[in-house]
Amino acid sequence: MFKIFQQAEYVVSDTFHGTIFSIISHKKFCTLVRNSNKEKITSLLGRFSLESHTVFDAEELENKIMQDIDYFVIDNIRDIERNRSLEYLKKNLR
């Protein structure tokens, strides 16, 4: 399934995993926010400063999906978060 994201030109998703796969694959994307996913999606996108890629109304879709993303910055944030998580696990799983 990950290969689908890698080959996509851009992605529209309404799931946490679809959003994270889009980020990992360095794709232009937007995420549809529903009441059932609002907390997870806004938290994830906020962590990466990608709040502008949320869609609450289908009319926003075209403008949001074409926004450029600086994946150099995103990858740096992802590395920092990964290291923070690994340190937490090392500290707490002794």
Query: Over the stretch 28-54, which tens digit does the pLDDT of each residue have?
Result: 999 999 999 999 999 999 999 999 999
Query: Over the stretch 48-84, which tens digit does the pLDDT of each residue have?
Result: 999 999 999 888 988 899 999 999 999 999 999 999 9
**Domain encompassing residue 57:** 2-92
Length of the chain: 94
Neighbours of 15 (CB within 10 A): 14
What does pTM read for this prediction? 0.85
Overall number of domains in the chain = 1
